[in-house]
Amino acid sequence: MQSSCRICGGVVLKSIDLGQQPRGNGFLLPRDVENELTFHLTMGLCGSCTMAQLQGEVPQELRYHESYPYHASVSAVHREHFEGNARYFLEHELTGPDPFIVEIGSNDGVMLATIAQAGVRHLGVEPSKEVAELSMARGVRVLSEFFDETTATKIRLEHGPADVIFGANCIAHIAHLASVCRGVESLLGPDGVFVFEEPYFGAVVDNTAFDMIYDEHSFYFAVRSIKAMAERFGLELVNAEPLPLHGGTMRYTLGRPGMRTPAPAVAEFLDEERARGLGEHETLLRFSARVERIRDDLNALLARIRAEGHRVVGYGAPAKTTTVTNYCGIGPDQIPYVVDNTPAKQGRLVPGTHIPVLPPSAFHEDYPEYALLFAWNHAEEIMAKETAFRDRGGRWILYVPDVHVL
Ligand code: JHZ
Ligand code: ZN
């Protein structure tokens, strides 16, 4: 399969095929299973600008709707991280007279609430109504729309140029990224910065984290592909900073050309990515072979545990659960339920495989012998609060970077 690059128009060759999949965050009510939407999930690399991307596209209105269930504030680690981001911007970037910050995909206000408390001019752009309302309740000003070139022009006319445009776990979701870049270019002030944090493609490959591939993740950014993208839209990549979130995230800082001195990290990452062949098709074909191995090992392990008469339940229902369970063919027969602390997911079913999502109390009331940790990127936080499970002999199953039991 072949398609054209959303950034440069080059040829995108299929490297990974995860089969027919529903929407990653399409947690559904039992009464809605009849009308579930699925699509063919494949990803590939652009032969010209090396941008990794999905080949198909689920319309954005079907992904970011009124009841989008992901709440960025559910993790204490994430809350602390985003408050830290806000404090950093307040101290280093929002220091001029009447500064202005825009966040694309502000979710429940996890970052902007701190900016709002400081009384600094800000605007969140968040099309998903319920999370937007949560942020408004925290004093955040929100425009409930999708960010693109038109929205950016409107914001500039009404509020003037932005000193900071920020996005976290959002920019790589936007299939019309080219329009976003044109919008950023017109909205950004002369010395403004466009800062975004997204799962790092290098970490996805290192971890064989194939579960990071789902409809919402239209792109998988690397330093090389972001540098090329910045240049194409009249911006310059001036920093790349690795962060531990989501199993490996990269924070990119873009400015207007020549306005900021690029940090040495940019050239260092470019060298490293070239040396390891991150932008090459063969690297992804090897990745794909490791994914098949994980699927086979995980199914074999679950079958063995069942044959021993033991139970496995899922812990955490991140969007990643959808990709893993659908690709591996794991349903309620193997995993009777998963627990998750997001109220918007509880009482619903995992998309496609229809495993029920229950509150964590279900886990505490009747510990199983094994728990499959779908929220593996939160392993430290979760294992630290679930010590009683371990104390009673419970074991954790992880499937990245390979299938293992802890
Ligand atoms: P988590 C999200 O992906 C969504 P997901 C999004 N599409 C994106 O791009 C990525 O982030 C990068 C639960 N949990 O963070 C809460 C517990 O139950 O891995 C969440 O449902 N107990 C925007 O969905 C899930 O696990 C806990 O103690 O893959 C984690 O979701 C903790 C800490 C979490 O994101
Ligand atoms: Zn391209």
The pLDDT tens digits of the residues spanning 367-391 come to 999 999 999 999 999 999 999 999 9
**Does the pLDDT of residue 2 top 80, yes or no?**
no
- Segment 36-94, tens digit of pLDDT: 999 999 999 999 999 999 998 888 888 777 878 788 988 899 999 999 999 999 999 99
Amino acid 57: pLDDT: 82
The residue whose CB lies within 8 Å of the most ligand 1 atoms, and thus the one to mutate among 341, 346, 381, is 341
Amino acid 60: pLDDT: 83
**Does the pLDDT of residue 255 top 80, yes or no?**
yes
Compute, in angstroms, the gap from residue 345 CA to the centroid of ligand 1: 11
**Does the pLDDT of residue 262 top 90, yes or no?**
yes
Please tell me whether the peptide bond between 401 and the residue prior to it is cis, using omega within 30 degrees of 0. Answer: yes
Atom of ligand 1 nearest to the CA of 214: 7
70 lines ligand 1 (CB under 6 A): yes
**Does the pLDDT of residue 214 top 80, yes or no?**
yes
342 lines ligand 1 (CB under 6 A): yes
The residue whose CB lies within 8 Å of the most ligand 1 atoms, and thus the one to mutate among 106, 131, 218, 378, is 378
Amino acid 211: pLDDT: 98
ipTM score assigned to the predicted complex: 0.98
Compute, in angstroms, the gap from residue 52 CA to the centroid of ligand 2: 8
CATH topology identical between 72-276 and 282-405? yes
The mean pLDDT value for 190-218 works out to: 97
The domain ranges of the chain are 2-49, 72-276, 282-405
Please state the pTM of the whole predicted model.
0.94
DSSP state of 28: B
**Does the pLDDT of residue 403 top 80, yes or no?**
yes
Please answer whether residues 16 and 291 qualify as being in contact, where contact means their C-beta atoms are separated by less than 8 angstroms.
yes
Compute, in angstroms, the gap from residue 203 CA to the centroid of ligand 2: 20
Considering the chain, what percentage of its residues have pLDDT values greater than 70?
100
Mean pLDDT, the chain, rounded, equals: 96
Q: How many residues are listed for the chain in this entry?
A: 406
* Cα 157–Cα 162–Cα 163 angle in degrees, nearest 5: 160
Q: What are phi and psi of 70, to 5 degrees?
A: -85, 120
Going by C-beta distance under 8 Å and a sequence separation of 6 or more, which residues neighbour residue 263? Answer: 238, 239, 240
Q: According to the CATH classification, is domain 72-276 in 3.30.70.260?
A: no
**Does the pLDDT of residue 35 top 90, yes or no?**
no
State in words which class domain 282-405 has.
alpha beta
**Does the pLDDT of residue 165 top 90, yes or no?**
yes
Going by DSSP bridges, is the β-strand pair 100-104/52-54 parallel, antiparallel, or unpaired?
Answer: unpaired
